[in-house]
Amino acid sequence: MSCISCKCSGKISEAILVTGGGGYVGSHTVVELLNANYCVVAIDNLSNCFSGEKHDKPESLKRVEKLTGKKIDFYYVDIRKKDDLDKVFKKHKISAVIHFAALKSVGESTQIPLEYYENNVGGSNTLFQVMQENGVKNLVYSSSATVYGLPQFLPLTENHPTGQGCTNPYGKTKYFVEEIGKDLCNAFPNIISSMGQYLNADVKGAYYRYQSYIPVG
């Protein structure tokens, strides 16, 4: 069966939307999705990835296409722009969203906190609204170990409290979006939401653990 979303050769008939798909973890995730025969739609505002021509598909995703021999539908979309997001959801049959798009520098976030709240919290809220309006109930959110704040015990586990003593605005934005995700799951029990809290990332890949909130189908 070919994908009804983009007519690519993916075996699975619905597409996974990857936000921030041009970035480091996003583009590596796209490789894994394509290798698992998922059809991928990627969006990115190109604020932290290289694109040859203005608003063109990022270089990282062009390389992923070469590596995998598969096609990626890419849109230059900022998650704060509701209408632009909605067009992507209307054009493709999206079954799940993996949400990486975010500003991610701890130091910078202490200097320009409002940009961090607007992009990371405001943008995520807009994305979740569009998902809800288009009936998309599956979300994987790329959070951060910064949500644990100063560790109360080590090693960190999923049982460690979050949001207590977050040391910077970036970590707080990640914590606030986790809370939005929990509230959504409480309000709409058929939403499936996973929050990935990265402990470290290096060239071999990302090490992370997941907390699943209200895993009801």
Ligand X SMILES: O=c1ccn([C@@H]2O[C@H](COP(=O)(O)OP(=O)(O)O[C@H]3O[C@H](CO)[C@@H](O)[C@H](O)[C@H]3O)[C@@H](O)[C@H]2O)c(=O)[nH]1
Q: Which residues bind ligand X (CB under 6 A)?
A: 20, 22-26, 44-49, 78-79, 100-104, 119, 123, 142, 144, 198, 201
| Beta carbon nearer to ligand X, 3 or 73 | 73
Tell me the closest approach of the beta carbon of residue 58 to ligand X, in angstroms: 7
Q: How far is the CB of 70 from ligand X (least distance, A)?
A: 19
- Least separation, in Å, of the C-beta of 187 and ligand X? 24
State which residue, 157 or 200, has the beta carbon closest to ligand X: 200
C-beta of 96 vs 101, nearer to ligand X: 101
Distance (Å, whole) CA 206 – CA 210: 12
Q: Which residue is nearest to ligand X (CB)?
A: 23
Q: Is residue 103 a contact partner of residue 116, using CB atoms and an 8 Å limit? A: yes
DSSP, collapsed to helix, strand or coil, labels residue 53 as coil
Euclidean distance between CA atoms 110 and 123, whole angstroms = 19
Nearer to ligand X, 12 or 112 (CB): 112
Dist CA 86 CA 156 (whole Å): 38
- Name the nearest CA neighbour of 137 among 215, 210, 75, 85: 215
> φ, ψ for residue 35 (rounded to 5)?
-65, -25
Helix (H, G, I), strand (E, B) or coil at 4: coil
Known catalytic residues?
A: 170
CB of 95 to ligand X, least distance (A): 21
